[in-house]
């Protein structure tokens, strides 16, 4: 049996060495399984690719380096690795060692028991409190509006069978959330809880902006609720405007007040039309923007080159 390890990397030169050392220890304990580590260099600007090129293969573990022409994003890099992997199952993990390689034997055991998807469930995260709050909020918000919920606190770290990986890699959408697509395809799935450590070295390149973009891709790509929510918000704004109008009319009749000419109608129209239109237009624009980029049919990523160890090439 061949297991592929898909590892997206972006400026991880300080981590690939220790990652490879721990992977060799883990794979050496499973001699009846062969492993291929598919590193996907997502536009690194340091010597990450060179360090991967000097990694020494073992009897049952070798590596493959897929270099993308630029940074295409984490989900595109995972898809690139998925399409270059040849194993009977694929394990996805990050190079920063926040995804412990020591869980790989457990994933394989569950795969042998007949599960097509085995995913890690993050516990005791080491990120800052505000970031953990944002993650928890996103998962719960996503599941409250998504057509197909995803397991709470489950990231991309996990295993997929070859047939599930093939189905997901062939899906044409650009706004990809692998964990959402993984839940959508179905089959037998099981979660494995684990403590998520902090980064081994360096700082994350997954900025707040990227995280927000990923969250929006998930919310708008897997649910029709936001566009329906715009209708509800627009109605609420109209109700606020109507209540203010009623208050002004009744106040004028009872207290004989004389409001400024045109002021009431201006406020009412601003609330009713401005607020409703801005909210609805922005949400519709999110969907239209995604349709526009999808209709271009551009590739998710561009491969600059593929490298193998010298022993594999000979």
Shared domain check, 169 and 142: yes
Same domain (yes/no): 130, 35:
yes
Alpha helices (H) along 186-313: 208-221, 225-255, 263-269, 276-295, 310-313
- Over residues 100-151, the pLDDT tens digits come to 888 999 999 999 998 999 988 887 766 566 666 666 676 666 666 666 667 7
**Is there a single domain that holds both residue 203 and residue 174?**
yes
Question: What is the per-residue pLDDT across 84-99, written as a single tens digit (0 to 9) for each?
Answer: 998 899 999 988 888 8
Rounded distance, CA 34 to CA 60, Å? 5
The length of the chain is 314
As a whole number of Å, the CA-based R_g of the chain is 25
CA-wise closest residue to 10 among 78, 53, 74, 76: 74
Same domain flag for 133 and 239: no
Q: Is 190 within the bounds of a domain?
A: yes
* CATH number of domain containing 85: 3.90.550.10
What is the reported pLDDT for 314?
Answer: 39
Within 8 A by CB and 6+ apart from 133, the residues are none
Number of structural domains (the chain) is 2
Q: Which two tokens stand for residue 308?
A: 């193998």
264 burial via Cβ count (<10 Å: 0-12, 13-18, 19+): middle
CA distances from 147 to 52, 171, 291 (A): 40, 17, 19
**pLDDT for the residue numbered 212:** 63
User: Based on the domain organization, do 13 and 74 belong to the same domain?
Assistant: yes
| Domain membership of residue 45 as a residue range | 2-207+299-313
**Residue 245 to residues 69, 156, 239, 263, Cα–Cα distance (Å):** 59, 51, 10, 11
User: Residue 220 domain-assigned?
Assistant: no
Whether residue 29 is contained in a domain is answered as: yes
Does the residue 87 lie in any domain?
Answer: yes
CA pseudo-torsion sign 77, 83, 85, 89: positive
Instruction: For residues 25 and 226, give the distance between their C-alpha atoms in angstroms, rounded to a whole number.
Output: 47
Residue 213 domain-assigned (yes or no): no
Q: How far apart are CA 194 and CA 26, in angstroms?
A: 17
Same domain for 139 and 96: yes
Please check whether residues 82 and 160 belong to one and the same domain: yes
Instruction: In whole angstroms, give the CA distance from residue 159 to residue 153.
Output: 16
- Answer yes or no: is 24 within a domain: yes
- Mark whether 23 and 74 lie in a shared domain: yes
If asked whether residues 147 and 54 sit together in one domain, one would say yes
The pLDDT assigned to 312 comes to 46
pLDDT of residue 138: 66
Q: Do 106 and 238 share a structural domain?
A: no
- pLDDT at 60 (0 to 100): 85
**What is the full per-residue pLDDT of the chain (314 aa) written as tens digits?**
899 999 999 888 888 888 888 888 888 888 888 999 999 998 888 888 888 888 888 878 889 999 999 988 888 899 999 989 988 999 999 888 888 888 999 999 999 998 999 988 887 766 566 666 666 676 666 666 666 667 777 778 889 999 999 888 888 887 788 888 888 888 889 888 888 776 555 555 555 566 666 566 656 665 566 666 666 777 777 777 777 777 777 766 676 555 555 666 677 677 777 766 767 777 777 777 777 777 777 788 898 888 888 754 43
pLDDT of the residue at 8: 92
How far is C-alpha 52 from the chain's CA centre? 25
Residue with tokens 């492993």: 35
pLDDT of residue 313: 43
What was the pLDDT predicted at 129?
67
If asked whether residues 185 and 309 sit together in one domain, one would say yes
- CA 281 → CA 237, 239, 240, 273, 288, distances in Å? 14, 19, 19, 12, 10
The answer to whether residues 290 and 277 belong to one domain is yes
């Amino acid at each position: 049996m061949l297991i592929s390890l898909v590892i997206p990397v972006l400026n991880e030169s300080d981590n690939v060495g220790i990652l490879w050392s721990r992977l060799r220890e883990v794979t050496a304990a499973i001699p009846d399984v062969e492993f291929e580590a598919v590193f996907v260099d997502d536009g690194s600007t340091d010597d990450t690719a060179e360090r991967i090129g000097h990694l020494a293969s073992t009897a049952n573990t070798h590596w493959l380096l897929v270099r993308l022409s630029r940074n295409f994003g984490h989900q595109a890099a995972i898809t690139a690795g998925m399409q270059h992997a040849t194993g009977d199952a694929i394990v996805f993990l990050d190079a920063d060692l926040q995804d412990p390689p020591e869980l790989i034997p457990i994933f394989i055991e569950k795969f042998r028991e007949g599960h097509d998807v085995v995913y890690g469930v993050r516990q005791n995260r080491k990120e800052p409190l505000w970031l953990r709050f944002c993650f928890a909020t996103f998962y719960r918000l996503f599941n409250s509006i998504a057509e197909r919920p995803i397991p709470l606190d489950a990231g991309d770290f996990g295993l997929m069978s070859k047939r599930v990986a093939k189905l997901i890699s062939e899906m044409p959408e650009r706004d990809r959330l692998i964990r959402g697509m993984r839940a959508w395809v179905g089959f037998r799935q099981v979660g494995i809880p684990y403590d998520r450590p902090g980064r081994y070295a360096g700082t994350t390149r997954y900025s707040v902006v990227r995280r927000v973009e990923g969250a929006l891709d998930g919310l708008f790509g897997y649910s029709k609720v936001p566009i329906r929510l715009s209708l509800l918000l627009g109605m609420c704004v109209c109700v606020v405007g109507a209540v203010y109008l009623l208050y002004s009319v009744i106040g004028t009749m009872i207290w004989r007040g004389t409001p400024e000419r045109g002021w009431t109608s201006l406020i009412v129209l601003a609330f009713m039309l401005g607020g409703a239109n801005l909210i609805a237009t922005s949400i519709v624009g999110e969907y239209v923007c995604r349709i526009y980029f999808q209709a271009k049919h551009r590739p998710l990523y561009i491969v600059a080159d593929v490298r193998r160890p010298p022993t594999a090439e000979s």
